Amino acid sequence: MKATLILANGAVFHGRSIGAAGERVCEMVFNTSMTGYQEVLTDPSYAGQGVVMSYPLIGNYGVNGEDNESARPWVEAFVVRHLSPRGSNFRCQYGLGDFLRKHDIVGIEGVDTRALTKILRSQGSMNGMITCAEHFNVNEVMEKLKAYRVTGTVERVTCPRPETYPACEEERCHVAMLDFGVKRNMVECLRRRGCRVTVLPAHTPAREVLAGGYDGVMLSNGPGDPADNGDIIREVRKLYESGLPLYAVCLGHQLLALATGAKTGRLDYGHRGGNHPVRDIAEKRVFITSQNHGYVVLAETVDPAVAEVSHVNVNDGTCEGLRYKRPNCFTTQFHPEASPGPKDTEYLFDRFVASMGGEG
């Protein structure tokens, strides 16, 4: 079946349908990872977005039931140069094409993803539509693309009720994880370090968190514009003022920055992939990190009496982490649980556990 991708700038790409038949409007972004497509598809931070994989061969090791980062995929659409017709790996349970169809994800292959990525990189992320229709009205499509905006995504991806996960071994700490779109491996990294983790819905009031007897609070990753979450930001401010050990990642990092007076801004095309170099200023080391974000904390707006920049993106100099002046509070923009290096930045979980009185 034929499929067509239309971008908001008028560019049109023709290819073949590899997922669910139909039509999907979303924000188109690109990811530079060579592997990890299953983790990308199930990362809640991609809610409302279509992902272009810049690496040309996708699906070659198939899909399994163990590597999902959440209970379901969140990507709206998937764009690849070539979809492997079968997966070749001892852990493979079924093909990527079957996975896309099962979860109603619209996909297209046969697209020049190099040219498409260059457009998104030079002109910025933009809305797009994938359609399997033989005929469509370009003017109507452009109106749909103009009207579309990624909103309400935190409410879509957060858990409906608290869920508690026991420590893998002897329990040392009890962590409250505010779920703005948490990835499963983030919880597992804490569990392996002796933490019982209670995952809480995004809009849980601070008073409930503070009354829960937790040793520390973690603010998770998640999708969308951080500035859209005014109610959450006000509650995050209360958690910050409580003095509890606090660690925040990605969207959580941005929300805490906004809660303490800093500002965020939109990147032209974002950071998405498993190969982004980040410098830890204190450690004087560069780590290869996994990232997925379209917004960034503006370093020049951070009050030096409140926090200082702790990590910097080597490619463009943007803020990748903050160390707050109040005790036991730090944040990172990148994902320490995703292990692209392969486990370089997991030391941040050790630091968080140590701040709660557990062993680092």
* Domains in the chain with CATH codes: 2-150 (3.50.30.20), 154-355 (3.40.50.880)
Give catalytic residue positions: 250, 335, 337
Buried b vs exposed e over 270-293: b needs ≥16 C-beta within 10 Å? Answer: bbbbbebebbbeeeeeebbbbbbb
Mean pLDDT split into 10-residue runs, the chain, 360 residues? 96 95 95 95 96 97 94 96 93 95 96 97 97 91 95 96 96 97 95 97 98 98 96 98 97 98 96 94 93 97 98 97 98 86 84 86
pLDDT one-digit tens code per residue, 54-85: 999 999 999 999 999 999 999 999 999 999 98
Crossing angle, helix 251-259 and helix 230-242, to 10 degrees?
A: 80
Phi, psi angles (nearest 5°) of residue 208: -70, -40
pLDDT for the residue 43: 96
Q: Are 194 and 173 in contact (CB under 8 A)?
A: yes
Q: What is the pTM of this model?
A: 0.96
CA-wise closest residue to 83 among 107, 118, 104: 107
The answer to whether 244 and 216 are in contact (CB under 8 A) is yes
Cis peptide before 44 (omega within 30 of 0): no
